[in-house]
Chain A
Amino acid sequence: MAEYTLDTALLRECLASGLYYLPQTIQLTLYSLIITLFLGLFCALAIYYKIPALSQFCKIFLTVFRGTPMVLTLLIVSLIYSSNIVKIIEYFRWNITPADINILFLGVLVLSLSFLPASSAAFLGALLSIEKIQFEAGLSIGLTTPQLLRTVIIPQVIPTAMPLLMNLLLSGCKATALVYTIGIVDVMYGALLPCAKYYRYLEGYIAAAIIFWGISIVLNFIINRVSHAVRMEKIDDNTSFNAKDTRNIRPGGRGYAGTRTCEKVIR
């Protein structure tokens, strides 16, 4: 029964093919993570300062993307793209065809939107855990709000939000496996390429699983090192962080209580 055994040669071929496309997956993850960090910080600040209209808009926006499964966002965005791109090109009289456009940007767009609830929740939780005194201290020496944010608040927000952002990196990397459904070439796509020849797909998926497992083990190692370093720094720096603060950022901790439901895990 040849059909019921694993073809190791094919598995190796799939692994090689999948690894060949690893840079694409890393690109996708990094680009969308960077975009989502800026957008997430922006949303968190808008909600924290209760800016009229903008904060309500951000809340609705976050609820929508928290509630929609990523694959559905992907389907909807790619549908909007494919049925309107020709019109857009004609409207602007660009000298290109739809085939010339790198579809990677669609994946980055959808991924960064899907990560947004998690990243803004991380930032908002960190903002809420900063004591009021810090803001007052900054204002009392005559800093403007942008200066205050840049020099006092954000340097404290980033280490506090770090554990959650690191989790986002991990789950975000896994989430990129989905974008192959709209035809973006990544590890998943690459691992499945050799399978089409033989019409055996199990090997391709196992190869993809091995690659993603490897990535997550490496990322986990890095995350542990980084969070250890951050914790060490916090213990050294007694003035702004003490043991209480590090406890508060844990989901379920007090500093986190208001934003706990903003989390979203993408599998």
Chain B
Amino acid sequence: MGEFFSLERTIDAFPKLLQSLNVTFEIVIVATCLGLIFGFGLAMIRLFRLPVLYQIASVYISFMRGTPIIIQLYVVYYGLPMLSMNLFGLNINSWDKLFFIITAFVLNEIAFIGEIIRGAILAVPVSQTEAGYSVGLTGLQTFVHIILPQAVRAGLPNFTVDLVSLFQGTSLAFLLGAVDIIGRARMIGTNTAHIFDPYVAAAVIFIIISVLLEFAFGKIQKKGDVVYGRIHS
């Protein structure tokens, strides 16, 4: 079997692993975009305390934040076909695994981003809204022009942490048989009988992308602080 670790094999693994990066990015981008859209709705439900919907949203968020994503993945994977069969009589057992994985991450991300948006909007002092009203803006105008720009900057640090953790969380997709970076690493491992080296290469890819993401969002945050001034005091 040769030595346990070889630098050559690790470097060889990189191009093959990078081919699978698009699967990871697909999950991250779809989950983040849908999470932002529906999370905003969820945050509004929680902020305006809409009756009935508020209770449902609270239970939903509690479940999504209280259970590990790995369990959510499996529950969606095994539960969604059952649900669709019972509700619509539609057999989706044979659908692509990626569909179930993305669905699970979207559902999870809605709850997490919803809470971030809610926290960000609450971080803007009420006096800002009052100031908007006092100069004659309507509710919507106040929200778009006064609250939203400040809330975006207040929520950005948490959003960055969430994005990085989502990116790392997608590594669980291989457990359902998706060929993401780790799935590909395992494939290389079974082909070459050396599994350790592709794992190390995968870890390096994850570390680099995580650091880059944090760096990029840190820059954006700083730029916002420079242009508009810090909002936390």
Q: 15 A-B contacts, Cβ less than 8 Å apart?
A: A63-B211, A64-B203, A66-B210, A67-B208, A69-B169, A70-B168, A201-B78, A252-B123, A252-B154, A252-B158, A260-B161, A261-B218, A263-B161, A265-B165, A267-B166
Q: Are B172 and A71 in contact (CB under 8 A)?
A: yes
Residues of B within 8 A of A209 (CB): 63, 67, 71-72, 75
A10 to chain B, nearest CB (A): 13
Q: Are B203 and A206 in contact (CB under 8 A)?
A: no
A124 to chain B, nearest CB (A): 15
Known: A71-B182, A212-B67. A267 touches B169 (CB 8 A): yes
Q: Mark B165-188, 1 if CB is under 8 A from A, else 0.
A: 110110110010000001000000
A binding-site residues for B, Cβ under 8 Å: 1, 4-6, 63-64, 66-73, 75-76, 79-80, 83-84, 174-175, 177-178, 181, 188, 201-202, 205-206, 208-209, 212-213, 215-217, 220, 250-254, 260-261, 263-267
Residues of B within 8 A of A70 (CB): 168
B38 at the interface (CB under 8 A from A): no
Candidates A4, A250, A265, A267; contact of B68 at CB < 8 Å: A267
Q: Are A64 and B75 in contact (CB under 8 A)?
A: no
Known: A71-B171, A205-B75, A267-B108. A213 touches B62 (CB 8 A): yes
Candidates B67, B160, B175; contact of A261 at CB < 8 Å: B160
Residues of B within 8 A of A265 (CB): 161-162, 165
Q: Are A177 and B161 in contact (CB under 8 A)?
A: no
Residues of B within 8 A of A205 (CB): 71, 74-75, 78-79
Residues of B within 8 A of A206 (CB): 75, 79
B164 to chain A, nearest CB (A): 7
B157 at the interface (CB under 8 A from A): yes
B35 to chain A, nearest CB (A): 13
B189 to chain A, nearest CB (A): 9
Residues of B within 8 A of A252 (CB): 123, 154, 157-158, 232
B97 at the interface (CB under 8 A from A): no
A213 to chain B, nearest CB (A): 5
Q: How far is the CA of A114 from the CA of B86 in the complex (A)?
A: 40
Q: How far is the CA of A141 from the CA of B109 in the complex (A)?
A: 52
Residues of A within 8 A of B171 (CB): 69, 71-72
Q: How far is the CA of A17 from the CA of B161 in the complex (A)?
A: 35
Candidates B63, B69, B203; contact of A68 at CB < 8 Å: B203
CB within 8 Å: A-B pair count: 139
B18 to chain A, nearest CB (A): 16
Candidates A71, A181, A254; contact of B232 at CB < 8 Å: A254
Candidates B164, B203, B208, B218; contact of A76 at CB < 8 Å: B203
Q: State which residues 177-233 of B face A: CB under 8 Å.
A: 182, 195-196, 199-200, 202-203, 206-211, 214, 218, 230, 232-233
Residues of A within 8 A of B207 (CB): 63-64, 66-68
B49 at the interface (CB under 8 A from A): no
A118 to chain B, nearest CB (A): 10
Q: How far is the CA of A145 from the CA of B168 in the complex (A)?
A: 39
B39 to chain A, nearest CB (A): 15
B44 at the interface (CB under 8 A from A): no
Q: How far is the CA of A250 from the CA of B74 in the complex (A)?
A: 34
Q: How far is the CA of A195 from the CA of B228 in the complex (A)?
A: 56
A251 to chain B, nearest CB (A): 6
Candidates B72, B157, B161, B168; contact of A69 at CB < 8 Å: B168
Q: Are B70 and A178 in contact (CB under 8 A)?
A: yes
A121 to chain B, nearest CB (A): 10
Q: Are A213 and B67 in contact (CB under 8 A)?
A: yes
B4 at the interface (CB under 8 A from A): yes
A182 to chain B, nearest CB (A): 12
Residues of B within 8 A of A250 (CB): 232
Q: Are B164 and A264 in contact (CB under 8 A)?
A: yes
Known: A181-B175, A267-B165. A1 touches B69 (CB 8 A): no
Q: State which residues 95-141 of B face A: CB under 8 Å.
A: 108, 123
Q: How far is the CA of A67 from the CA of B160 in the complex (A)?
A: 13
Closest 6 CB pairs of A and B: A67-B207, A216-B66, A69-B171, A177-B68, A202-B78, A69-B168
Q: Are A188 and B203 in contact (CB under 8 A)?
A: no
Candidates B74, B85, B175; contact of A201 at CB < 8 Å: B74
Known: A68-B203, A69-B168. A202 touches B82 (CB 8 A): yes
Residues of A within 8 A of B145 (CB): none
